[in-house]
Amino acid sequence: MSAIPREEVATVASVSICRAKVRPAAPVPPAAPLRFLAAIRAARANPITAFAREAYEKPFLKVGRGGRLALVNDPAGIERVLVRNAGAYRKSVLQQRRLRPALGDGLLTAEGETWRATRRIAAPLFSPKLVAGLFDDMRQAAEALCERWAEAGRPAELDLAAEFQRLTYEIVARTVFSGALAADRARVHALMAVYFDTVGRVDLASMYALPNWWPSLAEIRSRRTRRELRAIVAAAVAARLDDTGREAVDLLDRLIHTTDPASGRGLDRQGVVDNVLTFLAAGHETTGNALSWTLYLLGLHPEAAEAARQEIDAVLAGGPIAPERLADLRFTRAVVEEALRLYPPAPFIGRQAVADDLVAGHFIPKGAELLIAPWLVHRHRALWREPDRFRPERFLGAERAAIADGAYLPFGLGPRICIGQRFAMQEILTVLATVLARFRIDLVRPQTVFPLARITLTPAGGLPAHIRPR
């Protein structure tokens, strides 16, 4: 690894000045594991509060009543489960129960040959060339957001979490659907928000895998939501399928017309609907949260915010961000990567063994449930220096090279790694460069911000901030 460039060294030094002053929001782990009923209450309210100190210190741990669930924190064990022996595992029962009713056999939920064929079809849609071709949609949406903020004409208080959820939904709706959802965009966004909130809540039915005819409160609330959501998307897909002379201009067109190179077959109508819903769900909630947490951390660390602004100003040179200049935002990217470490978009990854295995020296029988929690792994005392501190420099130079394989997984790992990670990073950097070039952002009541784990990791109660033109 080559030495860190001089400008990066200067930036790192300035950021280190403020490091000891502020600790980003996180629960204080209880010293001892919670008793059974207390653990259930904590898990229902906010699952990340249920983990005791040992979960941040040990490489492998049996948790839950009777030790039914194996918690894997060991990087080599994580690599074993998600990468080297991924075929011996499937998505967990809880994840399937939560997501399959709305997303069907989309990429997040499909298994076996259905998943492999869908992945082969979808992979070309997220190639470097095609993702780069979506850059203008991302920048235009970010610029429209800035224009709306500028129209306030004075420092305005906004909920950044809500603003970025709307923005990232607008971007994914543009790139996936073009104008097909124009009349229903606001409704689909609202339905997505309701669905993610209800299915993200842990309840007794899900924890004990009660049969589907035993409806939980979350299930009752979500049924109507997902029916309406699927109906709107199915109608848009049907209209597009009927438009046989249309040129491919968005991801939906390409999803319809791309075939599996192994079989020569494409997705049927149901498969298209399932994967469009998957793209909409996974493509905006996680990215919106990543932007919120990044601005939250910059708000807590003004020296880092100033360093990012200086880098952005130097790269933009008074103009808009260009796609070929995103790679020059080295420090800004390190800030994003550190935000994804402290606040991973998906805090939990669940797997069920479909064959016996050996993980981190422990026998895993067929049928066992494993939990890999980026929330815990990214803050593990044995894997990270000052794990609860905001240190962007850990993603620059020699420190970056020293990160163990399996210790950093904001997008997952292995064959089921997030197919849209390139899309997400391009979007995040484009939005940050556009916003920070024009505005200063000051947090309002930062001490009240707290991470809430549902399907994704979101700022509980939003992220109020003052927006001031530079």
Distance, in Å, from the CA atom of 228 to the CA atom of 222, rounded to the nearest integer, reads 10
- Find out whether 357 and 85 touch, Cβ atoms under 8 Å: yes
263: which 2 tokens? 């079989």
18 labeled part of a ligand binding site: no
Instruction: Residue 50: count other Cβ atoms within 10 Å of its Cβ.
Output: 23
Residue 57: CB partners within 8 Å, gap ≥ 6?
380, 381, 382
Report which residue type is found at 465.
Answer: A
Kindly report each contact of residues 103-112 with a partner whose C-beta sits within 8 Å and lies 24 or more positions away, as own/partner: 103/274, 103/277, 103/278, 103/281, 104/270, 104/273, 104/274, 104/277, 105/270, 105/271, 105/274, 106/274, 106/275, 106/277, 106/278, 107/275, 107/278, 107/419, 108/278, 108/281, 108/282, 109/274, 109/278, 110/274
Distance, in Å, from the CA atom of 164 to the CA atom of 57, rounded to the nearest integer, reads 34
Binding residues for heme: 418
Binding residues: 418
